[in-house]
Amino acid sequence: MADFPELATLAFRRDGTIGILTLNRPKVRNAIDDALRTDLKVAMDAIAEDQSIRGLVLTGAGDAFCSGGDIKGMQDRLDQGARAGELGWWRQKDFHESLAKLFHLGKPTLAAVNGPAFGLGLDVALTCDFVFLAESAQVAANFVRRGLVSDGGGFFHIPRRVGIAKAKELLFSGRTLDAAEALEIGLVDRVVPADALIKNAIAYLTMFTDHPATAQAMAKSILNRSLDLGFDEINMIASQAQAFCYSSADHQESVREFFAARERARAARASQKG
């Protein structure tokens, strides 16, 4: 188990084999600034490298999950004038690399949304494999209210969860959804009491830890592309992954255990007949 790096905008702790990563800027409702963008990349690398971590919960400090991009960045863009577009492109490119590390992380991830998740904050939550909301939490893809568009994966994640027509409604209006509606339309996976949110998230991810990590990582890699590839392409990738699994220690050990259990059951039946 490696030491986790000290980060100014993120806090990390463990509950058994599950890591809990907390957006830790509560004074600004965990708004995303350049420091957090950089820290998230460092955190994702550390979590990916630590094989003792089998799942990741992402949540927010205080009473918000994430209010979106830091408003100071909006003021900075006004001051940057003609260079705002160029500098913004580089900043977004860097953050997209961080989000890609979260999306492709070879372990199950779950966003435990403890409070408002607006704009870029919602995009970050949807980058996880699963999204749980506290009963009091609200979400909004509200970029349009500031004359902007989703730039953190919303155009990818939202249509896959709710369909194109509903995604258009949410992104065109920027309206706020309460937890019940977000669950009803399929934008999130579960709504739980706020005081049980992290406990439920940890328990849910722990459910997967009895099974081999490599097979799960391969399955996730395929599923992340399953809506973009055809039947034959998916089967080709799955066949390649299966060929590797056939020779893995996880598979061979499970097969030996299966046959050993079958022999014990046969012996038990034979002794009962005798």
pLDDT digits (tens, 9 = 90+) for 75-102: 665 666 666 666 666 677 888 999 999 9
Q: What is the DSSP string of 32-47?
A: B-HHHHHHHHHHHHHH
Confidence of residue 250 (pLDDT cuts 50, 70, 90): confident
**What pLDDT is attached to residue 168?**
98
Q: Which residues contact 3 (CB under 8 A, 6 or more apart)?
A: none
What are the helix (H) ranges across 22-127? 34-49, 71-80, 84-103, 120-126
b/e code 227-257 from CB counts within 10 Å (16+ = b): eeeeeeebeebeeebeeebeeeeebeeeeee
The string of pLDDT tens digits covering residues 61-82 is 999 999 998 877 666 656 666 6
The CATH class given to the 213-273 domain equals: mainly alpha
Q: Which helix (H) or strand (E) holds 221?
A: helix 213-223
Domain ranges of the chain: 10-206, 213-273
The string of pLDDT tens digits covering residues 214-224 is 999 999 999 99
Distance CA 105, CA 85 (A): 30
57 and 19 Cβ atoms separated by less than 8 Å: yes
Q: May I ask the CATH architecture of the domain 10-206?
A: Alpha-Beta Complex (3.90)
The string of pLDDT tens digits covering residues 32-61 is 998 999 999 999 999 999 999 999 999 999
Distance CA 235, CA 204 (A): 29
Q: Which helix (H) or strand (E) holds 15?
A: strand 10-15
Distance CA 36, CA 118 (A): 16
Q: H helices then E strands: how many in the chain?
A: 11, 9
The string of pLDDT tens digits covering residues 15-29 is 999 999 999 999 999
Pairing of strands 190-192, 176-178: unpaired
Same fold, 10-206 and 213-273: no
Distance CA 113, CA 106 (A): 21
